[in-house]
Structure 1
Amino acid sequence: MKNIQLIAAAAILLCSCSATKTIGPVADLNGEWDIVKVDGKAIDTTKTEFRPTLGFETAKNNVFGCAGCNSIMGTARVNKDKQTIDFSEIGSTLMLCANMEYEQQILDALRKVKAYKDGGEGLVDLTNGRGKTVLTLKKQ
């Protein structure tokens, strides 16, 4: 009887361990993220006025952040099941800063975003319609 109980316990333990290794959808996008790469190149924050960020309130379809100088705001419709994003009606303020090296690159990349995927090591990749990563985010 003890052997059957041990075998049953071992089977339950093995099943529960394998279930935690199943890779599902990317973590919830809600909250604030640092933009750490644009078009595969690391962002040097010494060349930005402010840290480039994106924030999501998916229940309200809101996106907000900073492109390095100007504030970003608009609508982001996130489909968690399909891991898609529709940035409709997105815009930014129009300030001029001393250093705007990444500003236009980030705004151009945002216009291309169609989906998102796990970037590994706590990162999320925002991808274009062909699946190419255009922005990489790291949770704050």
Structure 2
Amino acid sequence: MKKISIIAAVIALCSCSATKTTDAAVDLNGEWDIVKVDGNAVDTTKTEFRPTLGFETAKDNVFGCAGCNSINGKAKVDAAKQTISFSEIGTTLMLCANMEYEQQILKALESVKGYKAAGKGCVDLTDGSDKTVLQLKKQ
């Protein structure tokens, strides 16, 4: 019984809450791990590097890693409306053994229009229909 309680506690601490909050004060600044793509958990054993996104909202910069290649570009964040507009996104051109998550992350990134709090240090990046396409967890 004690073992089950410990496992449940670890899962609760390591995952983002499924309950969405409406906290309008989400601060995207800093580095985030990409933990879900289109609702599916990212298995980092199948990526060359840990998938991440980072934001410098004062400079309109976005940076990170899609699992193999580095990401750099511009991200115009409107905190009041919780919208994001990406532009000039570029990646390095390395070829890695497994590019599955790389392709999914880059495709999802193309559809991002907004963001919202997802609880427990997480934020959801959403498309134009408010559907979560990427979930990030603060590093």
- TM over 0.5, yes or no? yes
2:137 equivalent in structure 1: 138
- The TM-score, its normalising length taken from structure 2, stands at 0.83
Letter in 2 for 1:80: A
Distance 1:73 1:80 in 2: 21
User: For the residues of structure 1 that align with 2:47 and 2:58, how far apart are their CA atoms?
Assistant: 30
Percent identity between matched residues is: 76
Q: CA RMSD in A?
A: 0.9
CA contact (8 A) 2:26 2:116 kept: no
Bigger relative contact order (CA 8 A; separation at least 6): 2
Partner of 1:122: 121
SS of the aligned residue for 1:102 comes to helix
The residue number in structure 2 matching 1:3 is: none
| Counterpart code for 2:106 | L
Amino acid at match of 1:95: M
Structure 1 gaps of 5+ residues are: 1-22
Q: Identify the residue that residue 104 of structure 1 maps to in structure 2.
A: 103
1:8-57: CA deviation from partner (whole Å, max 9, x where unpaired): xxxxxxxxxxxxxxx54142100000000000000000000000000000
C-alpha distance in 1, partners of 2:44/2:23?
32
The answer for the alignment partner of 1:81 in structure 2 is 80
For structure 2, the residue ranges without an aligned partner over 5 or more in a row are 1-21
For residue 91 of structure 1, report the CA deviation from its aligned partner. Answer: 1.5
How many pairs were matched up?
Answer: 118
Which structure would you say has the larger Rg?
1
